[in-house]
């Protein structure tokens, strides 16, 4: 079995930081609220948060309120989100700038967990509103303790982990690609950027990378000759669970779906491994992204794009980089057997039981504060 384990190192970039001149910005897929629009939307989100203060986010009344609050966003924002949901784009992402956020956010959570969403009411409702516009909000009991909106912060001691709690280059990956109800969309809202403004959120879209592949590699990637290693937190602590053999590419040739993780994906033979390496090189040549500032919200199409993050340095002083993450799916009903009645949070994956033990290899170790993005 060929294992792809080491973080990708883009060509001619020192230190594993993929922020070289080949990284194209997302300006052509960016849309910004005006100051007046931001203020008006912020008032709507604040009012919704006040009305439901103290309620859990995994509550249909809260999520319905967020969905309706989102209808108060400017029409052009709603139109852009609707197009992206239905049609996607060649970048695999949509960037909304100048979203309303709370004026005095608390300290960046040192452990990766905000004490309560009421501490960021405007940002929380704004992000839920956007996520509810592209799909139905979903979460996972195994991930970040089942929180509907999750905190992405550096955790001291985790610097070199291939997780969002680390600070080394986070390898390109499909979010939760091993899960039967994986998210269709990922929303990442910046509360606070890193101090040096070097932590770039990067996206690799199938539309940009696949034309660079050889015909043979493209064909191999459509065959079930790959496995994803299941994150240990999703496996109830087990570190040897693999998906069944699956393809990297599926769907139509014109608009293919993508499933890849260059840290946790195994190729089952040498030809498949070579095809995976060719795909990795193609993504590195076509990366898009940039540094997210406070109020920037990026939506990633998890069906057609993979994402990661460049290296940065944390100070652990309460002012480090802080993103918030929320997932959405286009069909919440399809996961109904995997969720408790009335909840958007999927059962632990060990209770769903879909995977088989694999050979003993170095696992992708994850704690509750880690996981993806």
347 known member of a binding site:
no
Query: Quick check: helix, strand or coil at residue 59?
Result: coil
307 known member of a binding site:
yes
Q: Which two tokens stand for residue 6?
A: 């080491």
179 known member of a binding site:
no
CA distance 9 to 210: 19
Q: What is the 3-state secondary structure (H, E, C) of 306-336?
A: EEEECCCCCCCCCCCCEEEEEEEECCHHHHH
Query: Position of tokens 């999520």?
Result: 63
Query: Position of tokens 């982990």?
Result: 161
Q: How distant, in Å, are the alpha carbons of 3, 5, 125, 132 from that of 64? A: 43, 41, 11, 9
Which pairs count as long-range contacts for 32-37, CB under 8 Å and 24+ apart, including other chains?
Answer: 32/96, 32/97, 32/98, 33/73, 33/74, 33/77, 33/96, 33/97, 33/98, 33/99, 33/100, 34/98, 35/98, 37/73, 37/74, 37/98
Pairing type for strands 136-140 and 345-346 reads parallel
CA distance 370 to 373: 9
Query: Position of tokens 């599926």?
Result: 250
Helix (H) or strand (E) segment spanning residue 249: strand 249-251
The stretches of the chain forming alpha helices (DSSP H) are: 35-51, 60-70, 75-87, 121-134, 206-209, 215-221, 270-284, 349-352
Closest CA to 196 of 26, 320, 300: 320
CA distance 356 to 266: 14
Cβ(3)–Cβ(266) under 8 Å? Answer: yes
Cβ(231)–Cβ(371) under 8 Å? Answer: yes
Binding residues for Fe cation, by number, are 173, 175, 307
Binding site as annotated, residues: 173, 175, 307
């Amino acid at each position: 079995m060929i294992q792809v384990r080491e973080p990708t190192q883009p060509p001619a970039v020192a230190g594993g930081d993929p922020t070289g001149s080949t990284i194209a910005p997302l300006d052509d897929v960016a849309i910004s609220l005006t100051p007046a629009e931001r203020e008006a939307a912020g008032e709507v989100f604040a009012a919704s948060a006040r009305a439901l203060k103290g309620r859990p986010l995994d509550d249909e009344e809260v999520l319905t309120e967020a969905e309706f609050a989102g209808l108060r966003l400017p029409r052009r924002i709603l139109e852009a989100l609707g197009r992206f949901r239905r049609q996607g784009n060649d970048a695999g992402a949509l960037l909304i700038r100048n979203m309303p956020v709370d004026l005095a956010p608390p300290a960046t959570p040192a452990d990766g967990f905000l004490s309560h969403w009421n501490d960021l009411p405007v940002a929380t409702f704004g992000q839920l509103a956007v996520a509810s516009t592209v799909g139905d909000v979903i979460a996972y009991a195994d991930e970040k303790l089942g929180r509907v909106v999750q905190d992405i912060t550096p955790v001291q001691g985790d610097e070199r982990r291939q997780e969002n709690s680390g600070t080394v280059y986070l390898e390109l990956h499909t979010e939760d690609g091993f899960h039967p109800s994986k998210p269709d969309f990922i929303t990442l809202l910046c509360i606070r950027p890193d101090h040096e403004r070097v932590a770039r959120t990067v996206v690799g879209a199938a539309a940009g990378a696949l034309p660079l592949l050889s015909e043979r590699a493209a064909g191999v990637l459509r065959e079930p000759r790959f496995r994803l290693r299941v994150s240990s937190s999703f496996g109830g602590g087990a570190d040897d669970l693999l998906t069944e053999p699956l393809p990297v590419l599926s769907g139509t040739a014109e608009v293919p779906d993508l499933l890849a993780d260059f840290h946790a994906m195994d190729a089952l033979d040498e030809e498949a491994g070579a095809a995976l390496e060719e795909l990795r090189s193609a993504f590195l040549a076509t990366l898009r992204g940039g540094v997210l500032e406070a109020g920037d919200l990026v939506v990633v199409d998890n069906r057609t794009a993979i994402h990661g993050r460049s290296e940065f340095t944390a100070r652990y002083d309460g002012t480090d980089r802080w993103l918030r993450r929320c997932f959405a799916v286009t069909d919440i009903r399809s996961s109904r057997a995997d969720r408790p009645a009335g909840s958007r949070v999927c059962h632990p994956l060990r209770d769903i039981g879909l995977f088989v033990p694999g050979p003993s290899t170095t696992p992708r170790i994850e704690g509750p504060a880690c996981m993806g993005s």
